[in-house]
Structure 1
C-alpha cells in the first residue's frame, strides 16, 4: 500500500511538471538565412543544408512568454570537422561539429529575464569539409519554455493582414478608389500592397525582385477549382476584354483560378499611388476594369478589363491587404499606408470610407506568427507584418481615420 501511494505521489509530481524537463524543438526548416539565402539552403524537408558561406548567418526566432533558465542543444551534423558560433540573449559559444549522423550537441545556457522575441544565431567559423553544418533543429529546455511560441511549420511567410471597409448592404459600388504609400525601406522583395479588393478580385502593387516591380490586377473565375485553370469550365472562366499598352495578361491558378494582368512599373517608396476600380453589371456577368494613375505622365492608365461570369452585381466586400509572399525573407518587417478610399454609386454619389476592421490569415490565427498589426496614423490606415516584434492589433479591431472630405477628381482616358 505504501509503495502504491508513493507511485501515485510520483505520478502527481510528474504531472505537475516536477522532475520533468520541459523542452521544445525548433525545426530546422523554420530557420532564415540572414542577410540572404545564398550559400545555405533552408529545405522544407531537411532543414538547414548546404551551408557553405560564412557571410550568411542562420537565425531561429521564438517568443518567450515565461522567464527562467533556457538550455540550447543543436541537432546537427557535418561532412568533416567544423566549428560554428551560437548566440542567444547575449551569450555565445563556439561549438565543434564532427560526425556524419545527426547528433544532439549541448551548446549553452542562458536566463530569460523578461518575455519577448528572441533570436538564436548560428555563424560559420571554420570548416574542413564542404559545409559548416546541417541543422535538423534546435532544442530548448527549461522553465522558460512554458508557453513558448515558434513557427512549427515550413511555411516561412509572415502573416497576411487586411483592412475591411464597411459599406451598407444596399449601397451599389460602381467605383472604388484608393491610395497607397510605402515608407522608405519597407518595400521588401516579396511584398504585395493591395489597395482595392472586393468579392471577385484585387488590385495593387508588388515588389517582385531586386529589379522588378509590378502593378497587379486579378479577377477570380466562378466555381471552386483551387489550382488548375485547365479544369475550369469555359462558362466559369473570366474573359479578358481589354488591356493597356505593355500590360501582360493571362490565366492563373494555385490560389484559386482566374484572369491575371500586370504592368511592370518601377514604383518608388515614399510616393503616393492611386488606384481605381470600375464595375458594370450586365445580366449574369460583371465587367471589372482597373486603372492606375501614372504620376510621371499625369494620367490614368488602363491596366485591364475582365468580364466575370455568374456575377451580375456591383462590388461588395471591399478591403485592402498587405502580404509577404516570399519564404526566404519572411523575417523582414514591411509596412504600408492605405488611405483616401472612396466609393461612387451609379447615381454619382461619392462616399468616403473612414473606418476599417482589422483581420488576418490562417498563419496569424494558428499563432504560427505573432508579429503583425495595423491601425490609423497621420490620416492614413496602416498595416505591417514580420520583423518579430509585438503585435499592435488583434482580429476584429476597428480603426478610424479623419475624413478628408474631398473626393478624387478623375478624368479617364478616352478610347
Structure 2
C-alpha cells in the first residue's frame, strides 16, 4: 500500500521523561483495557524532546493559547491544566503549583473567545502511582500545525496531584472514544463507568469535520543521541506527527497493514466503541536463542507514551541474557539494568508476517546517575509480565524509533513501515 503525503505534518517540539505512572496505568487496565524529504508541509507537525528524551511533545493551540503537550497514542483525552489549579502531593496534601511542575501557568478560559463550558460534566483520571487530575470540561478550538478542530471537548483540570517535567501542560490523546474519561456529573469524585460520556477524541473529530483527506495519522519518532538522552533538557526536531498521510521521513519497502485486535475492519469507530488501544498481534520475536522461547500472548499495544518495550517475561529474560555482559534485574525497580557500553544482540519483531528490526542503539538507555555519579542504563526491552491471556504488552518508543506507524482508527487498522537507517 502506497500512502499519500500528509495534509498536515507537525514536527515534534520536544521529548521529555515519561511519567512512571503510564506503564503502571496500562498494567492497571489489563483487566479492562517512498522516501520523502525531511520537510514540514501544512499538515505535518515537528516533534521535540526534552530531559532524557523519554517523551515526545508538540505545540498545540487551544482557544488561542499555546501549550506544549505530550503526544500519546495510548490515551484518548486531549487535556490541559487550568490556570489557577490547585496542586497536591500524592498523599493529597496541598502544595505550591511548582511541585506539580507543569510547563505553563495553564489554560485561561476567560482569555479564549471560542471557549464554552460543558455543563454537567467533569474530568477524572487517576494513575496507579497515585497521580490524579480532576476538574471541569470545556469545548474549544484545538489547533496543531495547520489542522484546526472546532468545538472539541477539552478537559481543563483544576486539581492535580501530578509528577510533571516542567515542560508539558497536558496530553494529546489519539486513541479511541472508549478510553475517554469525561463523566456526566459535576462532582468528579462520583465518576463511574455508568456515567461515562464517550466522545470523539481530537483526531476523530478532525475526520468527522472533514479536516483531513484520509482518516489516518502517522508518527515517526526520532531517537536522540546517547549524549542528548543523558544530558539535554530539551531536544528539538525529533520526528513528525502527520495527519492524513504518511510522516515525511525516508522509508524502506518493508511494510504491512494489520487489523487492530478485537476490531472489525468493516466497522466505523463510533461513540460506544469498547476499543481502548492500538493493539496488534505479534507473530514472533527474533534474537539469538529465540527459537527456544515460546510465547502465545499477542495482546500488544503500539504506544508513543511508553519509552521502552514491555514484552512477555520469557522474552525479556532470554534477551537480557544475550547482552555481554548480561543485563540483570535491579531489585528496587524491577527493571533490567545493563552496562552502558555492553554489546547488544540483534532483535526484531515480526508482525503480519513482516520482520521489523530494532537498532542496537535503542536497546541501551541512560536513566540518570547513581550515588557515585555513574550513569545508570537500562535495556530497551523490559519484563511486561507473565505470558498469559489478559496481560497487555507494549511496543513503545524503542520499537517506534525504527518504523513509521500510520494509525487508522476509522477502518480499525495500522500500517507499519520500516524506516531507512538514520
TM-score w.r.t. the length of structure 1 is 0.21
Q: By percentage of residues, which structure has more strand?
A: 1
Higher Cα Rg, which structure: 1
Q: Greater relative contact order: 1 or 2 (C-alpha under 8 angstroms, separation 6 or more)?
A: 2
TM-score w.r.t. the length of structure 2 is 0.21
